[in-house]
Amino acid sequence: MMDVSLPQANSGKFQDPARTADGQPRATVPLSHPETLWFNTGTLCNITCANCYIESSPTNDRLVYITADEVIDYLDQIAERGWPIREIGFTGGEPFMNPEMISMTRACLERGYEVLILTNAMRPMMRKSVKAGLLDLAKTWRDTLTLRISVDHWSQERHDEERGKDAFKRTIEGMCWLRDAGIRMAVAGRTVWGETDAASRAGYAALYKTHGFDIDAHDPGQTVLFPEMDDSVEVPEITTACWDILGKTPDSVMCASSRMVVKRRGAAKPAVLACTLLPYAPEFELGATLAEAERDVALNHPHCAKFCVLGGASCSG
């Protein structure tokens, strides 16, 4: 299992779910408006990136393939619990390596949910069977299916720094196929290179124009620029007083509106997590059912501060 110990930079912090290191009450977040349920399709991926938060690779199967029957069980639980879910998200690993990806997507679309699939748009998506499945889904649900493509940087050089030689070229090829198929796309990028938001979005806008991609570079919902999750950086703990200081509310944090389902290698059944970013941290596992996952979440990890509260990021569409 991945080592989830905290870096020296945050030594002494994030130990007590109720109190910060200096004894102040730690902020917690209730599940106030569940909008998105995520499924991790498995941590296997066709490539190994330089800095993948979940350490996906061609050999990492710590999170195994979830099945269509397991997804359908959670869709039934959504109805039973009366959660006002509007969106089902799939992430990995590379979701299209899961042999039941098309079936899982269809089950969610048939229930009336919007579906968001996070993909690198490379070889797993470009297999004939997957392309045929996507085309079939688009016939009926073109307006409620979105593929968010990982384009770490708008330039080939920097994207390939993260994802390997020719990764940019293969991703653009996949995006061109999606464009021609009329399947809606969004993009997820990174801010690791220190560019201004304006400069990054201008770069993506030029890329989209070159290839005729119908993606708005200036809409944060269509071109999402994620802050880097660097565990070596010192970050503050979030106390209950921080909400007023920052001018934010618990409702603005991702765990107020989402949960993620994973299946661990060797586990008899899937588990529900508080956060999509912490798949290996046991303290963020809430139980096996959505009912168990309705409890409050303590912001007891550096990612809670840097990525969600201070970075203001969200994984949903």
CB burial of 55-93 (b: ≥16 within 10 Å; e: otherwise) equals bbbeebebbbbbbbebbbebbebbeeeebebbbbbbbbb
Is residue 279 included in any domain, yes or no? Answer: yes
Question: Measured between alpha carbons, how far is 190 from 227 in angstroms, rounded to an integer?
Answer: 6
Is residue 315 included in any domain, yes or no? Answer: no
pLDDT value for 5: 45
Whole-model pTM?
A: 0.92
CATH number (domain holding residue 155): 3.20.20.70
- Are 64 and 265 contacting, i.e. CB atoms less than 8 angstroms apart? yes
- Cα of first residue to Cα of last residue in the chain, in angstroms, is 30
Is residue 99 included in any domain, yes or no? Answer: yes
Average pLDDT (114-133) is 98
Question: Torsion angle, CA of 156/158/164/166, rounded to 10 degrees?
Answer: 10
Predicted confidence (pLDDT) per residue in 157-197, tens digit: 999 999 999 999 999 999 999 999 999 999 999 988 889 99
Is residue 316 included in any domain, yes or no? Answer: no
Is residue 271 included in any domain, yes or no? Answer: yes
Q: Which H helix or E strand runs over 170?
A: helix 167-181
Predicted confidence (pLDDT) per residue in 51-98, tens digit: 888 899 999 999 999 999 999 999 999 999 999 999 999 999 999 999
Is residue 35 included in any domain, yes or no? Answer: yes
Is residue 3 included in any domain, yes or no? Answer: no
- Write phi, then psi, for 180 (nearest 5 degrees): -70, -25
In the predicted model, is pLDDT for residue 147 greater than 50?
A: yes
All residues at 6 or more sequence positions from 271 whose CB lies less than 8 Å from its CB, including other chains: 261, 262, 263, 264, 285, 286, 287, 288
Predicted confidence (pLDDT) per residue in 193-222, tens digit: 889 999 999 999 999 999 999 999 999 999
Give the number of domains in the chain.
1
- Write phi, then psi, for 300 (nearest 5 degrees): -115, 45
Structural domain boundaries, residue 191:
8-309
Predicted confidence (pLDDT) per residue in 77-86, tens digit: 999 999 999 9
229 pLDDT band, cuts 50/70/90, is low
Is residue 81 included in any domain, yes or no? Answer: yes
Question: Measured between alpha carbons, how far is 94 from 48 in angstroms, rounded to an integer?
Answer: 11
Length of the chain as a residue count = 317
- Are 206 and 200 contacting, i.e. CB atoms less than 8 angstroms apart? no
